[in-house]
Chains A and B, each alone.
Chain A
Amino acid sequence: MDWHSIMQLVSLEQLLWITITLFVYVLAGWIFKFFSHNILFHPIVVGAILIAGIGVVSATPLKSYLLLVSPINWMLGPVTVALAIPLYQQIRQVYAAGSKGVFVILLGGCVAPLLAIGWLGLFDFSDPVKLSILTKSITTPLAVDTANMIGGIPELAAGVVVITGILGVMFSQVIFKLTGCDDLRAQGLALGTISHAIGTARAHQLDAKAGAFSTMALCVNGIITAIVLPLAFMLFA
């Protein structure tokens, strides 16, 4: 492969937009820190708003932006594989939580998507839209892949996952009071099961033990959902 074809592979425009996205991400991280980790200023949300703003100002159509930054998506696969390390490190927590802990995760992992799709079933939504909500409680990299496999819209699934994560963290304070949930392990378990990585970040703020349980719940729920959903669709669809 000579230089000319390499330059065709990665154009200057592509590099520019990837750099902009990286820059926006760093900026969004600062903003998040500045507002003392207020969940409303989560880097993904602020970053997406900033990118959308830059896109509007520079009159870049959304489709071409997504095409230009597609190299970012290439890295997502290997990064998802990295989840194996926390899973391995938390394997002791799985034993510590025992069958009860796994039961809580499984229950949460079933109720959340079933309730959501049940509600959507009452109204006239197209199938891809309905299916995109099934992966709502699992971490985004697994959700995007899984949604793709079961015939959902990956981008919409990613949006649903992020909103679920943020709502879960927002609701969690009220809910923990409402249900009298003051055990840090139970809080971590709930946050990790329902609000995946965003909830886990919050659990780490609460306490190291809550963070460990949350990481464990995130991995277990994500993996089981990502295994069960495609298999179920293969068998029944």
Chain B
Amino acid sequence: MSKNDVVKSTLAFATLILFWCLGYGLSHYLALPPALLGLLLLFIGLLCLGRVPKALAHVSQFCLRHLSLFFIPPLVAAWFYAEQLGDKLWLFLFAIMLSTFVSLCLTAWLGQRFFGHARKSVKQYDEG
């Protein structure tokens, strides 16, 4: 990684922070999560620009690949709340299980009905 790349990556990360700050500022006027607003602002910015700068693409790919890191502490904390549920924990888990199973069945079935008939053409797209 050359010195130039480091500077570019730092700038790209600074861009992400900047857009988050913009989103945070906007969240005082719009009752939406700050990160979501930052995401939408950056998305609009990219639409205006018409392309994704290389350094930004690299940095975001890196960040998203390691997204799991950020959820280790909340998952540890979730256990604390799960313990508080006591006997009802199983009912709570069952709610997650049931809704995941049913909704996945529904989307898979519906998706297959919508897209399944054009199966042959999928193979050609695979290379792209």
State whether B99 touches A136 (Cβ < 8 A).
yes
- B59 CB-CB contact with A under 8 Å: yes
B interface: dominant SS: helix
* A31 adjacent to chain B (CB < 8 Å): no
In the complex, are the beta carbons of B31 and A190 less than 8 A apart? Answer: no
Contact A85 B52 (CB under 8 A): yes
**8 Å CB contacts to A: which residues of B60-93?**
60-61, 63-64, 66-82, 85, 88, 91-93
Residues of chain B within 8 A (CB-CB) of A107 are 106-107, 110
Proximity string of chain A (50-73) to chain B, C-beta cutoff 8 Å, 1 when within and 0 when not: 011001000000100110010011
The answer to whether A187 and B111 touch across the interface, beta carbons within 8 angstroms, is yes
Q: Could you say which interface size class chain A belongs to?
A: 35 or more
B80 contacts across to A, CB distance below 8 A: 62, 155
Q: B7 within 8 Å of A by Cβ?
A: no
Interface size for B (C-beta < 8 A) is 76
User: Which B residues are in CB contact (< 8 Å) with A105?
Assistant: 107
A79 B73 Cβ-Cβ under 8 A: no
Grouping DSSP codes into helix (H, G, I), strand (E, B) and loop, the A interface class, with mixed when no group exceeds half, is: helix
Contact of B35 (CB < 8 Å), options: A21, A77, A104:
A77
Give Cα A51 to B38, complex, Å: 31
With A80-B38, A137-B103, A145-B34 as contacts: A154 and B74 at CB distance below 8 Å = yes
A76 engages B107 (CB within 8 Å):
no
Point out the residues of chain A lying under 8 angstroms from B38, CB to CB: 77-78, 80-81
Interface pairs (21), CB distance under 8 Å = A45-B75, A47-B69, A72-B73, A77-B20, A79-B16, A81-B19, A101-B114, A103-B110, A115-B102, A116-B95, A140-B70, A155-B78, A182-B112, A185-B111, A187-B108, A189-B107, A193-B103, A194-B104, A208-B126, A226-B36, A227-B36
**B-side interface residues toward A, CB under 8 Å?**
13, 16-17, 19-20, 23-24, 31-36, 38-40, 42-43, 46-47, 52, 56-57, 59-61, 63-64, 66-82, 85, 88, 91-112, 114-116, 119, 122, 125-126
